[in-house]
Amino acid sequence: DGYGDNLDGFEGDHCKFSRGYSSSDRFGCLDSDGDSFSDPDPGGLNGYEPWYAHPVGKADAFLNDVSQWNDTDED
């Protein structure tokens, strides 16, 4: 996916065991809708730590909607 395996390096790959192109909340993780925000990974299976969907965490809350990643107005 083009992100370095050294997590502490420049744009380090947060999900080095899976190919992904997220770049807004973390680099190199799955991004199903292509909006640059990574998919949630609550079990920490693809990354170094559990990663929760917004509003609990920073991951994409709308996996199939490229125009949204969070729900700030709670509708």
Domain ranges of the chain: 1-75
- The model carries a pTM of 0.78
In the prediction, which pLDDT does 73 show? Answer: 60
**Residue 62 CA, distance from chain mean position:** 12
pLDDT in tens, 28-74: 999 999 999 999 998 888 878 888 888 888 888 877 788 877 766 66
For 50, other C-beta atoms within 10 Å of its C-beta total 13
- In the numeric block, which tokens belong to residue 51? 């990663």
Backbone angles phi, psi at 18, to 5 degrees: -140, 145
Helices in 1-75 by DSSP H: which ranges? Answer: none
Separation CA 61–CA 33 (nearest Å): 11
Q: Is the pLDDT of residue 75 over 70?
A: no
